[in-house]
Amino acid sequence: MREGKRDADNEAALTGGRHGNLVELHGVTFGYGMRCVLDGVTLRFRRGCVTAIMGPSGTGKTTLLRLIGGQLKADRGQVLVAGQDVGRLDREALYELRKRMGVLFQSGALFTGLDVFDNVAFPLREHTRLPESMIRDLVLMKLQAVGLRGARHLMPGELSGGMARRVALARAIALDPMVIMYDEPFTGQDPITLGVIMKLIRLLNDSLGLTSIIVSHDVQEVAAISDYVYLLSGGRVVAEGTPRALRETASPWARQFLGGLPDGPVPFHYPAPDYAADLLAG
């Protein structure tokens, strides 16, 4: 029953999303209070692809994910997920849609009161009436996929940062979502963990037929695993393309960002009065 319904939903989603895009943002404008964070951005996320959104801190990357997840509503423009306008859904429909979205927050956001097993089991227990034996099998499968089946009895406090993110990943795929969003998955990880997470993102995307959205400012890692990249700055899309195409881009801003150059269109110095005059003034 359930499976049949889900297939039908997917079918509808396929026909609903134009051009094979699972998620689309059309001219989305959003601000916190008076302050405009996103200024008419248009983004498309192709089904089955890993798409990255890059940009300096504070450009509204996390905000973008919250708009897609329906936690925030766009002031103007449209956010379409599987053909549904997220901003217009009522609570029931939004919650139904969220069951098919996975989000990996910046911190992992594991429930500190539950151990690894119960964290991964959480969405299954909340949303299904499966018997405990089947939940156990499913949880072990998801944990095996991220290589942490042996860590199932640990509490979140006992995990390293990288392990916590992998557990969060297992939890995010527990309900077999159609899209998964990663908020800065590479920040603050050691090189080995970084490699593991990169490999997992690509592997899960391809083997589970997911659509992945990565928000990040780690240029090398993102270039290595994504199919398409959007560069965001000052609330606008300043460049887009495949990682290879972007490297050959002419935009000086994009070159500064991708090359990690300290000075360029984004100045090294915070705006200040003339240096010599400032020193003499004291």
Partner 1 sequence: MPARGDAGRDASVPSLAWLRRLGRRVLAFCSRLGRANLFILRVLAGMPSVIPRFHLVMAQIYHVGVLSLAIIVFSALNVGMVLGLQMYNTLVNFDAESALGPVVALSLVRELGPVVAALLFAGRAGSALTAEIGLMKATEQLSSMEMMAVDPVRRIVAPRLLAGVLAMPLLAIIFCAVGIGGGYFVGVGLLGVDEGAFWSQMQDQVDWSEDVVNGIIKSVVFGVVVTWIAVFEGYESEPTAEGVSRATTRSVVYASLAVLFLDFVLTALMFGAF
Ligand X SMILES: Nc1ncnc2c1ncn2[C@@H]1O[C@H](COP(=O)(O)OP(=O)(O)O)[C@@H](O)[C@H]1O
User: Which residues contact ligand X by CB under 6 A?
Assistant: 32, 37, 57-63
- Which residues in the 38-77 window bind Mg ion by CB under 5 A? 62
Q: Which CB, 101 or 124, lies closer to ligand X? A: 101
- Binding residue count for partner 1, defined by CB under 8 A: 22
- Indicate which of ligand X, Mg ion, partner 1, none lies near residue 235 (CB less than 5 to 8 Å, by partner kind): none
Q: Which CB, 103 or 219, lies closer to partner 1? A: 103
Inter-residue contact 116 to 143 (CB < 8 Å): yes
Among 122, 136, 251, 256, indicate the residue that binds partner 1 (CB under 8 A). 122
Task: Say which residues have a Cβ less than 8 Å from residue 75's Cβ, sequence separation at least 6.
Answer: 29, 30, 31
Q: Minimum distance between the CB of residue 57 and ligand X, rounded to whole angstroms?
A: 4
- What binding mask, one character per residue, do residues 135-164 give for partner 1 by CB under 8 A, x or -? ------------------------------
State which residue has the least CB distance to Mg ion. Answer: 62
Q: Minimum distance between the CB of residue 99 and partner 1, rounded to whole angstroms?
A: 5
Amino acid (1-letter code) at residue 269: H
Tokens for 170, please give them.
């297992």
Length of the chain: 282
Alpha helices in 1-115 (DSSP H): 2-16, 61-68, 91-98
Measured between alpha carbons, how far is 166 from 67 in angstroms, rounded to an integer?
A: 24
**Terminal-to-terminal C-alpha distance of the chain:** 77
Inter-residue contact 200 to 163 (CB < 8 Å): no
- Indicate which of ligand X, Mg ion, partner 1, none lies near residue 63 (CB less than 5 to 8 Å, by partner kind): ligand X
Angle at 39 between CA 34 and CA 44, to 5 degrees: 140
Q: Minimum distance between the CB of residue 214 and ligand X, rounded to whole angstroms?
A: 12
- Indicate which of Mg ion, ligand X, partner 1, none lies near residue 60 (CB less than 5 to 8 Å, by partner kind): ligand X
